[in-house]
Structure 1
Amino acid sequence: MRISTVSSKNYGGVRWLQQPATLGGAFDQGPKEGIRFPGDKNSSSGQPKKGIQTHQDGTVSNIPGGMVTDQFGMVGLLTFIRAAETDPNLVALAPGIDLTTLGLNLNSPENLYSTFQSPWADAPCRPQDIDFHVPSEYLTNIFIRDKLAPIKLNRYGEDLLFFLFYMNGGDMLQLAAAAELYNRDWRYHKEERVWITRAPGMEPAIKTNTYERGTYYFFDAQNWRKVAKEFHLEYDKLEERPHLPPTLHHNPSPAAMVAH
């Protein structure tokens, strides 16, 4: 005998659907496959668990094949979070920390660190790039810059020209120093990223329309010295003459450098 009901009831916000029941053998049967009730234990404990599994010894298993498995992926983050739950010495910044509790005033209208140039910079900001409050009596540039003598780079030694080139990146003074080095037969190698010139009194051993080979001086900016070396030099890998603005072609003045 089979009694079937299709009514539904709502108890405490949980919607229950009354399933068909069979008299006679219904009392000695367990829940049917796929039916779960509140308080029931998982009857599929013997089945393999799905998803990433972390173990007490710190190992991780059941990782999908296409997932990154190093410390920078989701597996590494999950391992770190699980370890932080049991180890009070770990500071779990990765799951999320309010930055304002770390002493950072994110609402500040000014830079948090005035000397911080960039995450990819090799050095802090130069002093001339930092905003400082300067008394008005020290701000004399607008009064004297037109009265200063022109800068004559052709009077300076190569050591100073290299200093101006490497210490004024992106500045008009760097371009002017590069132009003067070019006038002195120095050439900038675009691939090696160094200045190179022929060794005095030594002609190239091989010279064609596209390349030459001989002994050259390289300027080593790390050790600040000239290094002699035999080199196969291709002309198309040399930087051309720098193009200066009209105001800097002849005897550039400090005012012209500041204006640019």
Structure 2
Amino acid sequence: MTDYGIMFNVLEGGVIEPIDWSKDQLQPDRSIIVLDESTMAVYLWHGQKQGLVARRTALRQAESLKGHGYTIGKSIIGRDVKQLKEIDARKVGRVQEETELNEELQELLDKKHKKLDNYAITFDMEAGAPSAARGAPKPKPKPQEAQSSKPEPKTEPEPKPKPKPRLEPEIKTTTAPKEPTAPKAEAKKTEAQDSTTQAKIAFVMVAILDHYDDIWISKKDNDTYSVEMMDGPICTFSISDGNLKFSSGSFSGISKDIKTAIQKRFVELNKLLK
């Protein structure tokens, strides 16, 4: 079966646009996605000037392509892709894994290929347009059962049963109990707790933004919050019974002076709630 590939540039806002298959597309201010059926992988390459938000946005698009492929007409390129390989150009030459993945991508882009319509390519020099790309399998028709030609036996009509005397049901009336209504004071208390929780999360962000301009915050499945910067994680925290708790390892990747300043700033802002 012929394998196909296609390259994308991730625009601001997460829009992906197909582009010509070329190493020249790997620019410092771009995040590039390469969808390749020959290696069954999606490559996500980030230029040196790409910020954290742009990288995260591109990662979501790459994960979507890995899961669903890319549709051209009635064909799907990369429908069976299994791997996502992310490359940070800033780490190439310094981190072994990033360096090896970058070399792998460079070799892929250097391979002799044939350009097709809609920016698709193939490494099979005699292949045509991706009408033969992996598409959804057609359902097999189910055989119909042959109808029997045997005559149906005659049946005698059943005698009608005599009508039974109708009994009037005894109706008992009951009064439905009233549903208990939650006291308004409790509802107001819950709203106040929610507002306090949101304020504390915001205070953490403000304290961190005093030192880092480009950060990313995400909420995990276990109701914990993770804050990251360009060079890695900053902290992870959760809120229980109105109390904010930082997980072990938080702020370990930054200097002690900045850590102390962030914590001091958070305490100052937290006093506004009292």
Q: If the length of structure 2 is used for normalisation, what is the TM-score?
A: 0.19
Higher strand share: 2
| Structure number with larger C-alpha Rg | 1
**Higher RCO structure (Cα 8 Å, ≥6 apart):** 2
Higher helix share: 2
